Structure 1
Amino acid sequence: MGRDTLSDLLGAVRLRGAVFYYVSCWRDWATEAPPAREIAAAVMPGADQVMAFHMVARGSAWAAVSGDAPLRLAAGDIVVLPHGDAHVMSSAPGLAAERQQPEWVFANRDAPRPMPISFRDGIGVPTPDAPSEDADAVLVCGFLGCDLRPFNPLVTTLPRLLHLPAARAGGWMANVIDQAARESAERRAGGDAVLERLAEMMFVDTVRRYLEDLPADARGWLAGLRDRHVGRALALLHGTPAHAWTIDELGRQAGLSRSALHERFVQFLGQPPMHYLARWRIQLGSRLLRETRHTVAAIALEVGYESEAAFSRMFKRLVGVPPAAWRRQAQPVVPPTASATTASVSSGAHSSMKR
Structure 2
Amino acid sequence: MDPLSDILSLLKPRNYMSAGFDAAGPWAIRFADQANSIKCGTIVSGQCYVSVEDLAGPVLLTSGSSFVLPRGRTFFLASDPDCPPVDAPHIFAKAQSGGIVKHNGGGECFIVSSRFVLSGPHADMLMAALPPIVRIENDQDEASLRWSVERMMQELSNPQPGGFLVLQHLAHTVLVQALRLHLSNARTSGQSDRAAETDQAATHAPNIPDWFAALSDKQVATAIACIHGDPAHPWTLKELARHAGMSRSAFAARFRDVVAVPPMAYLTRWRMLLAGDRLTHSGLPVSEIALSVGYESESAFSTAFKRVMGCAPRRFGQQVCQLNIVRA
- Flag whether TM exceeds 0.5 (same fold): yes
Q: In 2, distance between residues paired with 1:242 and 1:253?
A: 17
Is the 1:24–1:118 contact (alpha carbons within 8 Å) kept by the matching residues of 2? yes
Alignment-derived partner of residue 309 in structure 2: 319
What code does the residue aligned with 2:166 have?
V
Q: Report sequence identity in percent.
A: 29
State the Cα deviation string for residues 10-59 of structure 1 (Å, max 9, x = none). Answer: 2233233343433232322221222522xxxxxxxxxxx31222322343
Picking from 68, 72, 95, the partner of 2:60 is 72
Alignment-derived partner of residue 288 in structure 2: 298
Alignment-derived partner of residue 21 in structure 1: 19
Q: In 2, distance between residues paired with 1:147 and 1:73?
A: 29
State the Cα deviation string for residues 240-262 of structure 1 (Å, max 9, x = none). Answer: 11001122222233333333322
1:87 paired with 2:75, answer: yes
- 1:46-195 counterparts in 2 under 5 A? 49-65=36-52, 68-100=56-88, 112-114=96-98, 116-120=100-104, 135-146=107-118, 149-150=121-122, 154-195=126-167
Is the 2:238–2:248 contact (alpha carbons within 8 Å) kept by the matching residues of 1? yes
Deviation at 1:280, TM superposition (A): 0.5
Q: How many residues align?
A: 303
* Greater percentage in helix: 2
**SS of residue in 2 equivalent to 1:61:** strand
What code does the residue aligned with 1:84 have?
G
State the Cα deviation string for residues 273-316 of structure 1 (Å, max 9, x = none). Answer: 11111110111112222222222211111111112222222222
- 1:235-314 counterparts in 2 under 5 A? 235-314=225-304
State the Cα deviation string for residues 125-155 of structure 1 (Å, max 9, x = none). Answer: xxxxxxx8x6333322331244675587652
**SS of residue in 2 equivalent to 1:94:** coil
Alignment-derived partner of residue 207 in structure 1: 179
Deviation at 1:179, TM superposition (A): 1.5
**SS of residue in 2 equivalent to 1:213:** helix
**SS of residue in 1 equivalent to 2:128:** helix
TM-score, normalised via structure 2 length: 0.80
Deviation at 1:227, TM superposition (A): 2.8
Q: In 1, distance between residues paired with 2:156 and 2:25?
A: 22
TM-score, normalised via structure 1 length: 0.74
Structure 1 residues 140 and 226: CA distance shift in structure 2, 3 A: closer
Deviation at 1:68, TM superposition (A): 4.5
Deviation at 1:206, TM superposition (A): 1.7
Is the 1:61–1:72 contact (alpha carbons within 8 Å) kept by the matching residues of 2? yes
Picking from 7, 10, 13, the partner of 1:9 is 7
Deviation at 1:163, TM superposition (A): 1.5
Structure 1 residues 285 and 190: CA distance shift in structure 2, 3 A: farther
Q: In 1, distance between residues paired with 2:6 and 2:224?
A: 10
Structure 1 residues 63 and 227: CA distance shift in structure 2, 3 A: closer
237-246 vs 141-150, greater mean Cα deviation: 141-150
Q: In 2, distance between residues paired with 1:247 and 1:170?
A: 37
Q: In 2, distance between residues paired with 1:145 and 1:87?
A: 16
**Runs of 4+ off more than 6 Å:** none
Greater relative contact order structure (CA < 8 Å, 6+ sep): 1
Q: In 1, distance between residues paired with 2:146 and 2:73?
A: 26
